[in-house]
Copies of this chain bind each other. A is one copy, B any other.
Amino acid sequence: MAETSKALRNTKQRKYMLELLKSTKQHPNAFWLYENMLGAFPRLSLSTVYRNLGILESQGLVQRLSCSGSFDRYDADISVHSHFYCKECRKMYDVDSAFEKMAVSNIECGGHRPESCQITFMGTCMQCLS
């Protein structure tokens, strides 16, 4: 069933990318990462970014966030927390609450086996309110 997993190599590109993701509180998309790595890797390809995001995600080092009608974002903060998506400016914010922690650990999920839980609030952010 499971494929014979090939030994991962710790490439400069992927290492750098994870550090970059860890260093920001934003929730960047693939293109932001690409642009912010070009300084260090002038010949970087966008597909390398996508490929490595997939690897980091499957390793559980990074979380992929999808939101309606927009591109995917990535978050290297894998602690249990929710997100707030502003439909005006399309920014994604962290939201810390006790709910999702309760949710993941206690929820009755209709017989399915939940492994993770994504809670996303949508509305208008503080900045756009004023």
| Chain A positions near chain B (C-beta within 8 angstroms) | 64-69, 72, 84, 86, 93-97, 99, 102-103, 107-126, 129
Q: Do A116 and B121 touch across chains, with their CB atoms under 8 A apart? A: yes
Q: Do A112 and B93 touch across chains, with their CB atoms under 8 A apart? A: yes
Residues on the B chain within 8 Å of A109, using CB: 84, 95, 121, 123
Q: Which of B102, B103, B112 contacts A86 (CB 8 A)?
A: B112
> How many copies of this chain are found per oligomer?
2
Q: Which of B64, B94, B102, B126 contacts A111 (CB 8 A)?
A: B126
Q: Do B124 and A115 touch across chains, with their CB atoms under 8 A apart? A: yes
A84 and B84 alpha carbons, distance in the complex (Å): 19
Q: Which of B96, B111, B112, B122 contacts A118 (CB 8 A)?
A: B122
With A68-B64, A108-B97 known to touch, is A123 a contact of B129 (CB < 8 Å)? Answer: no
Residues on the B chain within 8 Å of A86, using CB: 112
Whole-angstrom distance between the Cβ of A86 and the nearest chain B Cβ = 7
User: Other CB < 8 Å A-B pairs besides A66-B68, A118-B118, 13 of them?
Assistant: A64-B69, A69-B72, A93-B112, A94-B110, A96-B110, A97-B108, A107-B121, A109-B123, A111-B126, A112-B124, A117-B122, A118-B121, A118-B122
